[in-house]
């Protein structure tokens, strides 16, 4: 792995990605986007494919997951294979800003903890809306400043893993993006982050066996990748979580209809 690898390249290697708010947030997004077994759903920035597989298995719908990293898509396909749901999920490498789908195709487009990392957010939003059927839904779960302006130490801490590649917005900023893309009847729900709960949700998402696999792949990556060892060292040096993190940083669910 080369020097410029980001946290997402490492996460693809170890097979672990997450959204903020865990399964509760995903279920809420599913409900707000009116997703059920008859729906055709696109998950943009699907990471290692947990939500698409969950949607297909638990809600019985057909799902396409896309991610900009081919290693994430490899992991997603492995997951679908393991869960024997290859007939209902499909995975493709694609950039949120240039989706390889025809207009008006999906009943719902969801995007969990991704858009903050996408450079041209209006372009990506336009793409989400373009591929959604009239009357369908676009739903985001995104990192949100719940109180502004955030202090420098909080901004630095939440962005530390992302090397300045993320831009977090306030709820107004996210709503403006949905409105700018022409979405209507916008629903907004914002939440504080509970860091302990986020850790519990990781265990819930992957289970004990899944976490053992993640641990094994993490140790193997640490042993073979100098870039990963540097990343871990820098993380350690960043220090402790700011005490006032919860006051400023949270996540929001933003849903609109086309
Ligand atoms: C925080 S992870 C969330 C993954 C997944 N949604 C989940 O809940 O596990 C962010 C993901 O967005 C992907 N990503 C970043 N920029 C992207 C882009 N422009 N287009 C598509 N995916 C992107 C990353 O590769 C990574 O898998």
Give the whole-angstrom CA distance, residue 149 versus residue 126.
28
Residue with tokens 């990605």, as numbered in its chain = 17
Task: Decide whether any atom of ligand 1 lies within 6 Å of the 67 Cβ.
Answer: yes
Task: Decide whether any atom of ligand 1 lies within 6 Å of the 162 Cβ.
Answer: no
- 245 contacts 195 by C-beta, under 8 angstroms: yes
Choose one of 13, 68, 95 to mutate for the ligand 1 pocket test, by most ligand atoms within 8 angstroms of C-beta.
68
Please state the length of the chain.
Answer: 258
Task: Decide whether any atom of ligand 1 lies within 6 Å of the 26 Cβ.
Answer: no
Report the mean per-residue pLDDT for the chain.
93
Model confidence at 1, in pLDDT bands (50, 70, 90)? very low
Q: In 3-state terms, what secondary structure has residue 198?
A: helix
Task: Give the tens place of pLDDT for each residue, 134-178.
Answer: 999 999 999 999 999 999 888 888 877 776 678 899 999 999 999
What's the pLDDT at 239? 67
What's the pLDDT at 164? 63
Which CATH number is correct for 7-197+237-257, 2.50.20.10, 3.40.605.10, 3.30.70.20, 3.40.50.150?
3.40.50.150
* Position 219 pLDDT exceeds 70: yes
* Position 19 pLDDT exceeds 90: yes
Give the whole-angstrom CA distance, residue 251 versus residue 201.
15
What's the pLDDT at 3? 47
Which range is least confidently modeled, 1-10, 13-22, 51-60, 249-258? 1-10
Give the whole-angstrom CA distance, residue 112 versus residue 30.
11
Percent of the chain, pLDDT > 90? 81
Q: What would the mean pLDDT of 207-218 be, rounded to a whole number?
A: 94
> Which residues are CB-neighbours of 231 under 8 A, at least 6 positions away?
5, 7, 10
Which of ligand 1's atoms lies nearest the C-alpha of 96?
A: 20
Higher pLDDT, 160 or 117: 117
> Which residues are CB-neighbours of 258 under 8 A, at least 6 positions away?
129, 132, 133, 134, 135, 136, 137, 138, 182, 183, 184
* Position 245 pLDDT exceeds 90: no
Which range is least confidently modeled, 87-91, 205-209, 235-239? 235-239
Task: Give the tens place of pLDDT for each residue, 180-201.
Answer: 999 999 999 999 988 888 889 9
Choose one of 23, 67, 95 to mutate for the ligand 1 pocket test, by most ligand atoms within 8 angstroms of C-beta.
67
Which range is least confidently modeled, 82-96, 173-187, 241-255? 241-255
Q: Which residues pair with 170 in a beta bridge?
A: 145
> Which residues are CB-neighbours of 147 under 8 A, at least 6 positions away?
247, 248
* CA-closest residue to ligand 1 atom 14: 45
Give the whole-angstrom CA distance, residue 62 versus residue 40.
5
* Position 47 pLDDT exceeds 80: yes
7 burial class (0-12, 13-18, 19+ CB within 10 angstroms)? Answer: middle
What's the pLDDT at 238? 67
Q: What would the mean pLDDT of 58-73 be, rounded to a whole number?
A: 97
Domain boundaries, the chain: 7-197+237-257
What's the pLDDT at 158? 82
Higher pLDDT, 113 or 194: 113
């Amino acid at each position: 792995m080369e020097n410029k690898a980001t946290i997402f390249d490492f996460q693809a290697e170890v097979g672990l990605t997450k959204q903020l708010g865990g399964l509760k947030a995903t279920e809420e997004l599913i409900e707000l986007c009116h997703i059920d077994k008859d729906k055709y759903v696109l998950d943009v920035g699907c990471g290692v494919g947990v939500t698409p597989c969950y949607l297909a298995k638990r809600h019985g719908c057909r799902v396409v997951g896309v991610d900009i990293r081919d290693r994430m898509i490899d992991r997603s396909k492995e997951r679908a294979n393991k869960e024997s749901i290859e007939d209902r999920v499909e995975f493709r490498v694609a950039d949120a800003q240039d989706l390889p789908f025809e207009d008006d195709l999906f009943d719902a487009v969801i995007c969990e903890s991704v858009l903050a990392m996408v450079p041209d957010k209006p372009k990506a939003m336009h793409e989400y809306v373009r591929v959604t059927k009239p009357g369908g839904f676009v739903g985001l779960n995104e990192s949100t400043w719940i109180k502004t302006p955030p202090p420098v130490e909080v901004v630095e801490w939440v962005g530390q893993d992302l090397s300045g590649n993320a831009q977090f917005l306030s709820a107004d900023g996210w709503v403006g993006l949905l409105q700018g893309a022409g979405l209507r009847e916008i629903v907004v729900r914002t939440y504080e982050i509970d860091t302990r709960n986020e850790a519990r949700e990781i265990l819930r998402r992957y289970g004990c066996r899944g976490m053992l696999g993640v641990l094994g792949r993490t140790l193997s990556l640490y042993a073979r990748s100098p870039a990963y060892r540097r990343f871990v060292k820098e993380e350690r040096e960043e220090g402790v979580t700011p005490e006032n993190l919860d006051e400023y940083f949270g996540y929001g669910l933003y849903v609109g209809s086309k």
